[in-house]
Structure 1
Amino acid sequence: MVTLRRLRRNPLCRRSDLVRAWAGLCLLSAALAATPAAMVLVGDAAHRHYARAARHQAATRHQTTAVLLEDARDHPEPGSAEPRKTRYPAEVRFTDPLGRTRTATADVQPALAKGSAVRVWAGTDGTIRDPPMSPREVHSRAMGSAVIAALGVHAAAAAAYGATCLVIRRRNLAAWDTAWARTAPRWTTSP
């Protein structure tokens, strides 16, 4: 609203005030116009990137059965719903894709006894990995990237407006200094 008020004719309005108002209006319009394009471009690029990463993960990881070498930690609140989601690190033994027996630390459900079988994802190098990204995770990460792109466009517009205002303010201060340098001798000299 303040920006639009500055665009009206006013005898006290300086040229720099009009420049500042028009710069704000133009940058706002540019940011609003560029936001959808930035979201689509960045979201599409991110989706392709994460889909490619998910395909690579699916090709280089496989699910296998592992055996616990120790008892898994018990959850501190046994009656709550949280133990269904919580996982604790425990030593497991599994067979890698090349048929070698390996031991590693994997996140398992609480309170599992030693010797229990658990499903883990193993990489081609024989290490325990996270499962490959699901299509939902790919979509979620792409949408997050698109939102960050939109915020970036608006942050860039705000930074450009801030820089414009700073330049205008410095020019105004320099003009005031020059005007005061001409006026000050008449006010500060003794008769």
Structure 2
Amino acid sequence: MSDPIPRAQPPPQRAEHPDRWWRWRNNPLRRRNDLFQAWVGLLLAVAVGVATPLTGWAVGASVHGSLSATAEQQARTGRHLTAVLVHDAPRHPEPGSAEARETRYPAEVAYTAPDGTGRTATADVVPGLAAGAGVRVWVDGDGDIADPPAGPEDIRYRAIGWGSAAGCTVLATGKLAYAVTAHLLDRRRSAAWSDAWHRAADR
């Protein structure tokens, strides 16, 4: 009588927490490029860990200094003027709402430039203003309507944004460098396995 067919066994379960440090331990299955990959990962982690905050701080400080200098120069050469609305400004669909208080519409205004010449230009005004209403505008050194100089809060937020973006770029570059290195090593390992199988088949 033949032996009964053994019952099917479930496939072995993969470890929930794979060993991430196996490349550092000496074992018969570890190859030299495995150890090399471990060292590359360690060096990149240290380099990225140091470079990310330093780069973010350096870029943020540089942007803050540049924007502050620009704002100071604009404040020295420009000034606020009162312009007059030429035509009625459009009305907001929901007068009195929070959105209406934040909305600005482009409208034609007339004003006298610092050099004494009369000019017309487009400025953003609140909804519903009637023609002839006074509008406070900022003019630059040439007498043209422009955005007012950035304030300290706006400059700080922009500097933080640029610094954060620079730090994230360093972090992404480090991850990409490790991924490329791992991919090249995987290709090399696959080629070595293929050569070993061919040599074994030829025996």
Tell me, in whole angstroms, the C-alpha distance in 1 between the residues paired with 2:126 and 2:180: 54
Does the CA contact (< 8 Å) of 1:87 and 1:109 recur in 2? yes
Relative to the length of structure 1, the TM-score reads 0.88
Tell me, in whole angstroms, the C-alpha distance in 2 between the residues paired with 1:121 and 1:145: 27
Matched, 1:101 2:123: no
2:23 aligns with 6
Does the CA contact (< 8 Å) of 1:42 and 1:146 recur in 2? yes
Tell me, in whole angstroms, the C-alpha distance in 1 between the residues paired with 2:76 and 2:96: 39
Partner SS state of residue 106, structure 1: strand
The Cα shift of 1:185 comes to 4.5
2:46 aligns with 29
RMSD value, Cα: 1.8
1:142 aligns with 159
The Cα shift of 1:176 comes to 2.7
Does the CA contact (< 8 Å) of 1:57 and 1:133 recur in 2? no
1:18 aligns with 35
1:51 aligns with 68
Partner SS state of residue 168, structure 1: helix
1:120 aligns with 137
Partner SS state of residue 129, structure 1: coil
The Cα shift of 1:123 comes to 1.7
Tell me, in whole angstroms, the C-alpha distance in 2 between the residues paired with 1:157 and 1:179: 33
2:14 aligns with none
Q: Structure 2 matches for 1:78-97, cutoff 5 A?
A: 78-97=95-114
The C-alpha deviation readout for 1:2-25, integer Å capped at 9, x for no partner, is 543432333322222222222112
Tell me, in whole angstroms, the C-alpha distance in 2 between the residues paired with 1:82 and 1:183: 76
Does the CA contact (< 8 Å) of 1:3 and 1:24 recur in 2? no
Does the CA contact (< 8 Å) of 1:68 and 1:92 recur in 2? yes
Give runs of ≥4 in structure 1 deviating > 4 Å: none
Gaps of 5+ in 2: 1-17
Moved more, 171-180 or 113-122: 171-180
Does the CA contact (< 8 Å) of 1:66 and 1:120 recur in 2? yes
The C-alpha deviation readout for 1:76-129, integer Å capped at 9, x for no partner, is 111411111110011100111211111111000010001100100112223211
Question: Which amino acid letter does the alignment assign opposite residue 142 of structure 1?
Answer: A
Question: Which amino acid letter does the alignment assign opposite residue 35 of structure 2?
Answer: L
The Cα shift of 1:50 comes to 0.9
The Cα shift of 1:51 comes to 0.9
Tell me, in whole angstroms, the C-alpha distance in 2 between the residues paired with 1:122 and 1:45: 27
Identity %: 49
Question: Which amino acid letter does the alignment assign opposite residue 56 of structure 2?
Answer: M
2:89 aligns with 72
Moved more, 2-11 or 148-157: 2-11
